[in-house]
Amino acid sequence: MTAPPELLTPTSPAEAAAAFGDGAGVTVLAGGTILLPELTYGKLRPTRVLMVGRAGMSGVEASNDVVRIGAATPVGELAGAPDPLVTAAKHVADREIRAVGTIGGNLCATAGDSAPRGDLQAPLLALGARITSAGAGGETTEDITAFLERGTGRLVLSIEVPTGQAFGYSRLDRPHTHHYTMLAVTAVKGADGVRVAASGVGDRSRRLAGVESALAGGASAADAAARANEGLDLPTDALASAWYREQMLPLLVQRALGQLG
Ligand SMILES: Cc1cc2nc3c(=O)[nH]c(=O)nc-3n(C[C@H](O)[C@H](O)[C@H](O)COP(=O)(O)OP(=O)(O)OC[C@H]3O[C@@H](n4cnc5c(N)ncnc54)[C@H](O)[C@@H]3O)c2cc1C
Beta strands 130-134 and 140-143, pairing class: antiparallel
Q: What is the pLDDT of residue 179?
A: 72
DSSP 70-132: ETT-BGGG-BTBPTTHHHHHHTSS-HHHHHH-BHHHHHH----SSS---TTHHHHHHHT-EEE
Q: From its phi and psi, is residue 151 left (phi > 0), alpha (psi between -120 and 50) or beta?
A: left
- Mean pLDDT in residue range 127-133: 97
Q: If you measure from the C-alpha of residue 50 to the centroid of ligand 1, how many angstroms do you get, rounded to a whole number?
A: 15
Beta carbons of 141 and 235 less than 8 angstroms apart: no
Q: What is the pLDDT of residue 4?
A: 83
Q: If you measure from the C-alpha of residue 220 to the centroid of ligand 1, how many angstroms do you get, rounded to a whole number?
A: 36
> Does the beta carbon of 135 sit less than 6 angstroms from any atom of ligand 1?
no
Q: What is the pLDDT of residue 26?
A: 96
Q: What is the pLDDT of residue 96?
A: 94
**Nearest-10 Cα torsion for 6, 38, 123, 254:** 170
CA distance 28 to 157: 12
Kindly report the pTM of this predicted structure: 0.96
Assign 5 a pLDDT band (cuts: 50, 70, 90). confident
Q: Is the pLDDT of residue 175 over 80?
A: no
- Mean pLDDT in residue range 58-81: 96
Question: Whose alpha carbon is nearest atom 1 of ligand 1?
Answer: 178
> Hey, how many other C-beta atoms are within 10 angstroms of the C-beta on 153?
13
